[in-house]
Amino acid sequence: MNKAALYQDGLTQEINVVIAEALGIEPSRIDRVVDNPEEFDSIGLLDAISALEEHFDIEFTRAETARISTKEDVYNLVYQKLSAKQEPLDLSVFKDAAIIIPVYNHAATIGMVIEQSLQLGVPVFVVDDGSTDRSGAIAARYKEITLLRHGTNQGKGAALRTGFQAAQSVARWAITIDADGQYLPSEAARLMKAVSERSRPIVVANRMSMAGPDVPWTSRMGRGFSNFWVWMAGGGRLPDTQSGLRVYPLPEVLELGAFSDRFQYEVEVLAMAGWHKIPVISVPVRVNYQRKRISHFRPWMDFWRNSVVFTRLITMRLLVPPVLRRRWTTVRHVPGTRAR
């Protein structure tokens, strides 16, 4: 297990001990007590928060406290607070950047992700990809963002292209962040620091807690599968080709000609970046897998779709000369979008 995963596991245990002491129970009973509303009421929550604030020398705002409904929320907030204390955020690294958040039925987390993204002081574009829950309505409350809508669900790739096209008028870099709360938007600073004045790379987050028990097996399996085939398709060796936290140069990413509409778009871009000699950099980041996430990744269907895309890319790499492959670029317009 890597150091980041060990840190998160150790932090979880430390939080459990602090909460147990505040409630006067054994740490082994934490899960049973905290998940029982009759035993863990509002008074118990306030006692736990007060103990955590004193123990870790942090402070929760009223808004943050109001959003706590599960123990996973507590872990996530403490982790965020400690991360902020250890590494003060330098907003200057976000110069010429915009944030793009594709969302499809993430009503439980989209508000939190938007609020955290707005703290970075850059334009924020939220692409509602035909959500059927309250995701679009929640995003619409934030007047500081640009909300773009797909009338029907078109897929993550289509949502990203919509965001890229809108953002290129105000930014030279697009930071993409998933709407499920897995990533802290502030971690994008690590990616932006990897960009130099003279380079126009794609920067991909390498999730450093993928060995933990809270990580879905589909995520671990999918990452290994994808890493190998991106390399075979000409995209170079990367440790995490499925990460949703990335930095893309604008408009170069659109000019690659990648046209997959769903999750496959992100790996297609990495392969085509290799063809076009666009550097791809990997940067380690921390993620939160203890928050109960809503994922629209369908293991067998999406593994099949990945296989189809990789077969096409590898065939092109083997049969089409590099010069011709690099010429096959186009900027594709995505129809069916409208601004709020």
Between residues 310 and 91, the one the model is more confident about: 91
The closest alpha carbon to 297, from 135, 129, 156, belongs to 156
Q: How far apart are CA 106 and CA 147, in angstroms?
A: 15
What's residue 338's pLDDT?
42
Q: How far apart are CA 270 and CA 235, in angstroms?
A: 5
Q: Which two tokens stand for residue 299?
A: 């293991």
The closest alpha carbon to 332, from 165, 172, 153, belongs to 165
Q: How far apart are CA 192 and CA 110, in angstroms?
A: 23
What's residue 325's pLDDT?
60
Hunting for tokens 């096959």 — which residue is that? 328
- Strands of the sheet containing 246-249, edge to edge, are 280-285, 202-207, 246-249, 173-176, 97-103, 124-129, 146-150, 337-339
pLDDT tens across 240-264, in order?
Answer: 998 999 999 999 999 998 878 877 8
DSSP state of 35: T
- Other Cβ atoms within 10 Å of 136 Cβ, number: 21
What are the C-alpha distances in Å from 133 to residues 83, 103, 104, 328?
A: 32, 11, 8, 39
In this prediction, residues 164-177 reach a mean pLDDT of: 97
pLDDT category of residue 282 using cuts at 50, 70 and 90: very high
Backbone φ and ψ for 215, nearest 5 degrees, come out as: -80, 125
Residue ranges per domain, the chain? 3-86, 91-327
pLDDT tens across 25-77, in order?
Answer: 887 777 777 666 666 677 878 888 898 988 888 888 888 888 777 777 788 78
3-86, CATH topology level: 1.10.1200
Judged by average pLDDT, the poorest of 79-83, 107-111, 180-184 is 79-83
Looking at the domain covering 91-327, what would its CATH class be?
A: alpha beta
DSSP state of 240: -
pLDDT tens across 293-340, in order?
Answer: 555 555 556 566 666 777 777 777 777 767 666 555 444 444 444 444
The closest alpha carbon to 153, from 134, 131, 124, 135, belongs to 131
What's residue 259's pLDDT?
77
Angle at 170 between CA 167 and CA 173, to 5 degrees: 65
What's residue 66's pLDDT?
83
pLDDT tens across 205-247, in order?
Answer: 988 655 444 555 455 556 667 788 788 877 788 889 989 999 9
Residue 213, amino acid: P
